[in-house]
Amino acid sequence: MDIEKIINEKHRETEPVCAYVYDLQQLKTHAASLKAGLPDFCELYYAVKANPDPNILEALAPIIDGFDTASEGEMEKAEGERPLLFGAPAKKDREIASAVEKGIRYINVESLHDLYRINEAAGNAGKVMPVLLRVNLRKDVPESHHMMSGTATQFGIDEYQIPDCLNTADRLDHVDVKGFHFHAMSNNLDARKHVAFTELCIQKAKDWAGTFQLDLETVDVGGGIGVNYWDPDDPFDWPIFAAGLHQLEEEAGDLTVILELGRYMTAECGSYVTEVLDVKENHDKAFALVRGGSHHLRLPAAWKMSHPFRIIPVEKWEKPWPRPHVAGRDVTITGELCTPNDVLVRAEKVDTLRAGDLVVFEYAGAYAWTISHHEFLSHPEPQMIYVDE
């Protein structure tokens, strides 16, 4: 995708460049490749939380098996011909009722109280709701950027409490436990550990199914497959992961294993492009200030990292004064907000960076625009550009 050409064709000339550019063709090709690599017992869902942009959902719908949603709003955005899953640690009554009414495939149960509430909503609707119990494992979770299992968090049911939940569910008339959900991590980069985690989930689910005589049909291992923002040349090894899943086919038997990919599905299709407004030195450090910042792309500030970037030189300079620039040294790239936390790149070396040049922040198709605090300082929103060719 030729970012410079696209910006020249579609950018609003009256403003400094600030835009998200989504390559929908890349997204579709990538999703189809992921799907093609999976064994038949695996299903590929998209975690809408990563990026709920309607154009992205529309592009993915013909390719994936369904959508993983975490709110009533996401259910409404993703509702269509594909199955939906609904899971959230703190559900509103109206969300549970909406999920039951829509007839979604499964609701995740996060606690005993959750189980009772889902049973009540399904009873009010005269239905039996298929559910998955979300498990917070006690150990054996791969290393990742954020841990949501294997440690004390607000997510899921403590592994030691699963027997009590299963015994309770057996006494309820309007819930049917069809499996388990094990989403345990975020941004794991080790493919072999992800295979081992998937195998662990299958084993745990089959053990509980045998003990409690469950009609087990699904093991949802969640998402958590990562993007290597620190070294993009060393990505998560999907072929290794897919090959490992194929080795689990006999162990899985009649089970369906669901993968909920978010970041790994959409991150690479999005780029955030900004124009450098100023370059200066402060306390012997170089800074480049761009139109935009963490109110558009919050991830690097939240994770205290340098976001992957590249520079598009713009030779045009019509001001009658010298052009601010930095050459051959480390530069910190910051945004337009009145806070020292508005940092996108932390002291990374550049050959040359000048006012008027463009900076392209790559891997910005997930957990980017929609997790950012758009209203702070009331700056204009970035332009949204979609390319499907």
Q: Which residues contact 45 (CB under 8 A, 6 or more apart)?
A: 64, 65, 66, 67, 68, 85, 258, 259, 260, 261
Do the strands 256-261 and 42-47 form a parallel or antiparallel pair, or are they unpaired?
parallel
Length of the chain, in residues? 389
Q: Which spans in 249-345 are helix H?
A: 249-252, 263-266, 299-302
269 is catalytic: no
Q: Which residues contact 286 (CB under 8 A, 6 or more apart)?
A: 279, 280, 326, 329, 330, 331, 332
Whole-number Cα distances in Å, 61 to 33, 82, 267, 269: 15, 7, 17, 16
Whole-number Cα distances in Å, 110 to 95, 154, 336, 342: 14, 9, 40, 35
Q: Which of 159, 221, 151 is nearest to 193 (CA)?
A: 221
E strand or H helix at 387: strand 383-387
Could you give the CA distance from residue 384 to residue 364 in angstroms, rounded to a whole number? 13
CB atoms within 10 A of CB 273: 27
Active site (catalytic) residues: 338
